[in-house]
Amino acid sequence: MGASPVADNLLFFTELVSMPVLDVQGRRIGRVKDAALVPMVSSSRIDRVLVGGGYTWLTIRYDQIRSIVLGKGIVLSDEQLTPYHDDEYMLRIGRDLLDQQIIDVTGRKVVRVTDVTMGIHNDGIRDTLTVLEVDIGLRSIFRRLCQGLVSPRWIRRLQRPIRPNSILWDLCNVVETDPLRRLRLNISYEKLEQMHPADLADIVEELSPAERGAIFETIDSEAAADALSEVDPKMQASILEALEPEKAADIVEEMAPDEAADILAEMEKGTSEEIMDEMDSAEKTEVQELLEFEEDTAGGMMTTEYVALHDNATAADALAALKGNTGLLESLNTLFLIDTEERLTAAIPLARSFIASGDTRLKDLASGTLIQVTVDEKQNRVTELFDKYNLLTLPVVDEEGKLAGVITADDVISVLRQK
């Protein structure tokens, strides 16, 4: 596949630039300087071609073009050209795309654009250019280096042995930090919301602080919260600090309270208070309680999101409780029982309550020994317990034996990895 010649209906941006432009009579007007999309109208059709001739640049609309042929040039069908002025709705390929970083959504990485591959499409009246792929890698670097020094035909021949490396334009996401321009260029980050949070986190880590901010500002709070909890802990606080407090609060509310507390603890006091002021009171109290604990104790590791039922509850009650807490389902694997004074009495593996008949008392399904720690237990001891008893969850109780929170295996893994 690497050796196949480039088809005639493809045109690289490097070839388009400096192509001669001829008017209806075949007189040369000038050379192509840049081309632009107008994403509001079409996300891939080249809407304008900018020509430099004489003192000013002129704008050619796509419907003023008759034909585009490599080696010959662009022939126009209309001569009413307008002088170029910097239109804010234009995404200029040469200025805004070439040499900049974009996100490859399926490849899940940040890449730098070296060239752009366009298709020439003829509908019987005119040739239209559409952006097909963004080129990265050696082949496009070679093209850029030779551009203007060697004829395009020769470049196409010489580049054959180099393996192409391109990304479909539909799978690219341009990053724009200016919110107003983002609107005008119709840039959204919806594609990013579909990615796995851990992949999105990797991408975000590679971007600059301004670009990070732009993404977290725009994607919905839930996706943002999921991604943020996967970001390098050192970076988390600085990302939230850069956002508007309301948006930051929205994201923090969506996070697990223990993770939210960890991030807020990393921030300067003024900023974290500003964010907490914007939060809903329920989530705020949870987070505040967690902030009281030292980071390297069981209290600092635990989350307050768990499902606790009354001592005498049955399997049917458990099912009902789960239906009311669908938000927790993804990571839930243990149910807890508490007595009338909220003291922890038993832990029940979730799967057991499933196979039990509806009227079975949960108490009877409890694991043999109840392993629990107090809020001030040291982090090292907690990880030891997880290892020794092969735990998935570990309940944490306060001085009076009341259930305060739960530590899950993923918390322990994060702690171990940071060492």
Partner 1 sequence: MLKLLRRFRYHLLVFFAVLGPGFITANVDNDSGGIFTYSAAGARFGYLPLWTLLPITLVLIITQEMCSRMGAVTGKGLSDLIREEFGLRMTFLMMTLLVLANMTNVMAEFAGVASSLELFHVSRYITVPISAVAVWFLVVKGNYKSVEKIFLFGCFLYVTYIISGFLVKPDWKEAALYSVEPKLMLDKDYIYMLIGMVGTTIAPWMQFYLQSAVVEKGVTAKEYAASRIEVIVGCIMTDVVAFFIIVACAGAIWSVRPRDIQDASEAALGLKPFGQYAFLLFSAGLLNASIFAACILPLSTAYSVCEGLGFEAGVNKRMREAPVFYFLYTLLIVVGAGVVLIPGFPLVRMILLSQVLNGVLLPFVLIFMIRLINRPDLMGEWVNPRWFNQVSWISVVVMIGLTLALVGITVRGMP
Q: Which residues bind partner 1 (CB under 8 A)?
A: 99-100, 109, 111-114, 136-137, 141, 144-145, 207-212, 232, 234-235, 238, 241
125 burial (CB, 10 Å; 0-12 / 13-18 / 19+) is: exposed
Q: Which is nearer to partner 1, 215 or 385 (CB)?
A: 215
What is the C-alpha separation between 192 and 24, in angstroms, rounded? 45
Minimum CB separation from partner 1 for residue 105, in Å? 17
Q: Which is nearer to partner 1, 115 or 127 (CB)?
A: 115
Q: Which two tokens stand for residue 267?
A: 């921030």
Any idea what the Cα angle at residue 296 is, between residues 300 and 202, rounded to 5°?
A: 80
Instruction: Give CA torsion, residues 114, 217, 287, 329, to 10 deg.
Output: -70
Any idea what the Cα angle at residue 180 is, between residues 187 and 91, rounded to 5°?
A: 50
Q: Which is nearer to partner 1, 233 or 358 (CB)?
A: 233
Minimum CB separation from partner 1 for residue 212, in Å? 8
Q: Which is nearer to partner 1, 212 or 247 (CB)?
A: 212
Minimum CB separation from partner 1 for residue 160, in Å? 20
Q: How far apart are the first and last CA of the chain?
A: 46
Minimum CB separation from partner 1 for residue 181, in Å? 12
Residue 129, helix vs strand vs coil? strand
Q: Which is nearer to partner 1, 102 or 344 (CB)?
A: 102
Minimum CB separation from partner 1 for residue 163, in Å? 12
Could you tell me which residues are beta bridge partners of residue 208? none
Q: Which two tokens stand for residue 128?
A: 């239209």
What is the C-alpha separation between 400 and 289, in angstroms, rounded? 16
Minimum CB separation from partner 1 for residue 167, in Å? 12
Q: Which two tokens stand for residue 92?
A: 């200029």
Minimum CB separation from partner 1 for residue 235, in Å? 6
Q: Which is nearer to partner 1, 270 or 324 (CB)?
A: 270
What is the C-alpha separation between 3 and 271, in angstroms, rounded? 57
In 3D space, the residue among 87, 100, 92 whose CA is nearest the CA of residue 173 turns out to be 100
Q: Which is nearer to partner 1, 238 or 414 (CB)?
A: 238
Which residue's entry shows tokens 């840049």? 34
